[in-house]
Amino acid sequence: MFIDKSLKQYALDTKSSDPTPGGGSVSAYVGTLSSALTSMVGGLTFSKKNYSELSEDVRTKMESNAKELEQLFEDLANDVDKDTNAFDKVMEAFKMPKDTDEEKKSRSQAIQEGYKVALEVPLKCAEKCHRVLELQDVFARYGNVNAVTDIGVGILLAYSGLEGALLNVTINLGSIKDEEYKQVISQKVSRLLSSAKDLKEKSLAIVYERLNG
């Protein structure tokens, strides 16, 4: 499993001519780092004396968000390896026999289903990165000011993970013939990307305001 390898080995595996790990796996790993950095900012905030001076609502939200980030960390870490296997069903389908009309039909259907499976993993990864972006707001606003650059990097990573994952969704979507399905997924991709840009810009504005204040 790639997630269990050293940082250097994962980078070397990515650098090699082997197609895995590729952009989808790296996007998931970037999302994992984003959630990790945000959790770190939480830890550096909860341990400070002035944390008790924050309002109860803020403390409750921050602690709740921190718990959810722990789960997202695990989920995104799992996606690092899930993405490397996401295209397997497509490859298996291409190896199916195509001598008869029936075999050609079955093969074509299997390929189409394979592409749908292939895009589900990066789509879910993008949704998780979007959720990380949503959870980061309270840390950007009220997190330990000495760690404000860390939450800033976390925000950038969450957005990069999301957009990278959506690139993989889009390329697989181009091979799908079901126009209704393509429209539904395309609309979801557009909504996620638009919302993520908005979340990123708003949170980064807060980071820069605190950084320069």
Collapse the DSSP code of 55 into the 3-class scheme (helix H, G, I; strand E, B; otherwise coil) and give the result.
Answer: coil
How does the average pLDDT of the chain come out, rounded?
A: 94
Q: Which domain holds residue 43?
A: 23-83+122-212
pTM of the model: 0.93
Examine residue 170 and state whether it is found in any structural domain, yes or no. Answer: yes
Q: From CA 158, how far away is CA 33, in angstroms rounded?
A: 8
Least confident of 94-108, 165-179, 196-210: 94-108
Is 155 part of any domain? yes
Note whether residue 160 is domain-resident.
Answer: yes
Q: Is 32's pLDDT higher than 90?
A: yes
Residue 165, in any domain of the structure: yes
What pLDDT sits at residue 138? 98
> Under 8 Å CB-to-CB from 42, ≥6 apart: which residues?
62, 65, 66, 69, 139, 143
In a domain, 15, yes or no: no
Q: How many domains does the chain have?
A: 1
Q: Report if residue 95 sits inside a domain.
A: no
Q: Tell me, yes or no, whether 91 lies in a domain.
A: no
The answer to whether residue 89 sits within a structural domain is no
User: How far apart, in whole angstroms, are the C-alpha atoms of residue 159 and residue 149?
Assistant: 16
CATH number at 190 reads 1.20.120.680
pLDDT tens track for 35-92: 999 999 999 999 888 899 999 999 999 999 999 999 999 999 999 998 778 777 888 8
